[in-house]
Amino acid sequence: MLFSYKGYDANFTKCKGDIEAGSYEDAGIKLKAQNIIYNSLKEKGSFGFKLDFLTKKQLPIIELSRISKNLAIYLRSGVSLLNAIQLSKSLYEDNRKTQNFLEQIEVSLREGNSFYNSIKSQNTYKIADFFLQSIKIAEENGFLSKVLDELSDYLKNQHRINKQVGSAFIYPAFIIFVSVMMIAFMLSFVVPKISSMFDSIDQELPGLTKFVIGMGEFFGAYWLVLFLLFFGMIIGTSFLYRFNGTFKYSFDKFLLSIPIFGKMVLYNELARFSYISSVMMESGVSFVHTIKLSTDILTLSPIKQLFERSMDRVIEGEKLSVTLIKDKYKIDRSFIQAISLGEETSQLPSILSNISELYFDENEEKTKKLMSLLEPILMLVVAGIVGGIVVAMILPIASMNI
């Protein structure tokens, strides 16, 4: 397979090119062997699309957290790494794929390979680069159990936040979906049947009734087209988001501008960046490499590109806080001030850890507030629409009796 890359060589000069490798991981290994720090690595395919979604799947966050925690406990108890892997493997007898993942690591360790290389060489799951680099440094410096513990806590916290954000929107999304289906059904089937009763009435129908009947006739005639158009838009938007960088940037920028929700996704990104940076710096990873790997885990294009631009200037000798202030894209000023304080006091890992905890806690509070606001608002909107349809159908009958 052919991969294209962009990054920096051993002299911190920008470089780009193509590299032949058997997999994404092999390409990364080859680049590192050439002392190239890459900030972009994509498989070349037809139409320039990324093909990484066809390769190995990511190990679920919660599973990686559990495995890391178990290994940390075993190692602290004096159990060797090989035996710790064997003990962990016995916990996954009902999960063949995860057991196979651990088996491959065990075999590689028996062959004399390092834990880092054993995880990297397995072909069951794709493991995030920040996790691998943290393991590599920790293994080389003799504090593997500590880093595994910290990584486990981060992954568990990230899973909890993802679950909270997901649950905050699953219920409202379900209400919206059911409401739309119910309203569409009423307009397509119920309203036309009731409106046929008004054909014999020799009087002018109220404006609201005319509007609802018109909507009912429209939905009745084109419901299938509207249904296909709706799902076509969802599929088309998902496709563009995945494969079109310009569209993804615009969509992510729109998400960040949404009141309350925009702050939530921003804080989630900054919390992830801060925690991973903290763990990696405490593990001994260089500052530039830390920013590069922490930037790789970001998902929102405006934030990711901001830190990529910042990394360019950090390599040239500027402080991270200064580059963030100068950039055209502005983020939370308190985050930049905290970074600046950490740089001045040489306590950046500790401050980044505190920032991540603060943002995680704030997101938890915002999720609860959002849920408490969304539910009654959605109920009122749905009740208002359904009530409006019912009133529109009753108005002609009421005026007839009068």
Residue 67 has pLDDT above 90, yes or no: yes
Contact in structure between 374 and 172 (CB atoms under 8 Å): yes
Tokens 């900054």 map to which residue? 270
The average confidence (pLDDT) of the chain is 84
Environment class of 384 (CB within 10 Å of its CB; exposed 0-12, middle 13-18, buried 19+): exposed
Q: What is the pTM of this model?
A: 0.67
* Residue 167 CB contacts under 8 Å (≥ 6 apart), including other chains: none
Q: What is the pLDDT of residue 232?
A: 94
14-20 and 2-8 strand pairing: antiparallel
Q: What is the dihedral of CA 375, 380, 386, 391, to 10 degrees?
A: 170
- Say what the pLDDT of residue 226 is: 85
Helix (H) or strand (E) holding 346: none
Task: Give pLDDT, residue 46.
Answer: 39
Q: Give yes or no for a contact between 228 and 199, defined as CB atoms under 8 angstroms apart.
A: no
Q: For position 390, what pLDDT does the model report?
A: 86
**What is the reported pLDDT for 247?**
93
pLDDT at 301: 92
Domain ranges of the chain: 2-54, 61-127, 142-402
Is 243 or 172 the better-scoring residue by pLDDT? Answer: 243
**Is the separation of the CB atoms in 83 and 115 below 8 Å?**
no
Q: Has residue 166 got a pLDDT over 50?
A: yes
Q: What is the 3-state secondary structure (H, E, C) of 200-229?
A: HCCCCCCHHHHHHHHHHHHHHHHHHHHHHH
pLDDT, tens digit, 9 for 90 and up, residues 361-376: 888 888 778 777 877 8
Condensed to tens digits (0 to 9), the pLDDT of residues 292-307 reads 888 888 889 999 999 9
Note the pLDDT tens digit of each residue in 13-60.
Answer: 778 888 887 766 677 778 877 888 776 677 665 344 444 444 468 888
